Amino acid sequence: MNTLQTLDRGLSALEIIARRRDGISIADLSEELGIHRAVTYRVVATLEAHGLATRGGTGAIRLGAGVMALAGRFRPQLRAIARPFLAKLAARTGATAFLSVAEGEDCVVILVEEPEAGVLRVGYRTGSRHPLSRGAAGIAILSGRPPRQDDPQAILRARADGYSVTRGQIQQGAMGVASPLRDMTGAAPRLEAAIGVVTIGDLHVAPAAEAVKAGAAELSDLLLDAPRGGG
């Protein structure tokens, strides 16, 4: 498939900028893109014009506020696509199914589906917010990031298993299982997300984890429009 070179460079630049939390210089960005600095200046200027990049007083290039606007506009579509997956997950596990995304250092619930059966309900609602370092969804999202030397054991285990399990971290007596979605935005800045289930009391971890991992993989494939494989 033929690609538009200028657009490809812009998207590649966004991906590189997104990985540099402290920003990146024109020189370093040029080197990573493999293009002349003059071309890099034009790429960055175009991104700035659309609010997707910004340069501070030191000249370091960072993501612009326009990225958050794009992410916000994507969320209604994400919820619409994810709803049937969560409904199926809730029915399969008998637990509350959820979709959460990362916002800064917080994990935010953007969609919840309750199982039809059952009386007990978990206080995990759309708009609920908690630190990424706590709860199954937050740990699952962190496990989807590149490894760091200071990663705690919970993240290391979730990365190895493909899912996280927590008990009582967000709500007393609650147990959650979550799995991260693969990068849904390709070369653009990542929208980090996870789906999972949570219930009061015990949850059979093995079948719940299998269902959550399968749902996350299937939803990721659909969002990426990728061929579906086994496993």
Please give the average per-residue pLDDT across 59-82, as a whole number: 82
CATH 1.10.10.10 domain position(s) in the chain: 5-64
What pLDDT score was predicted for residue 115? Answer: 87
Q: Read off the DSSP letter of residue 103.
A: E
CA 126/CA 48 separation, integer angstroms: 33
Query: Can you tell me the distance from the alpha carbon of 159 to that of 218, in angstroms, rounded to the nearest whole number?
Result: 18
- For tokens 């709803």, what's the residue? 83
Predicted local confidence at residue 118, as pLDDT: 58
DSSP annotation of 24 reads: B
CATH code: domain 5-64 is 1.10.10.10
Could you report how far apart the first and last alpha carbons of the chain are, in Å? 28
pLDDT at 154 over 90: yes
| Class of the CATH-defined domain 67-224 | alpha beta
Does residue 196 surpass a pLDDT of 90?
A: yes
**CATH 3.30.450.40 domain residues, the chain:** 67-224
| pLDDT over 70, % of the chain | 89
Do 222 and 83 form a contact (C-beta atoms < 8 A)?
Answer: no
In angstroms, the Cα distances linking 91 to 55, 85, 96, 116, 206 are 48, 10, 9, 7, 16
Whole-number mean pLDDT of the chain?
Answer: 85
pLDDT score at 227: 39
Say yes or no to pLDDT of 122 above 80: no
Residue 95 and residue 203 in contact, taking contact as beta carbons nearer than 8 Å: yes
Q: Worst-scoring range by mean pLDDT, 15-29, 89-103, 149-163?
A: 15-29
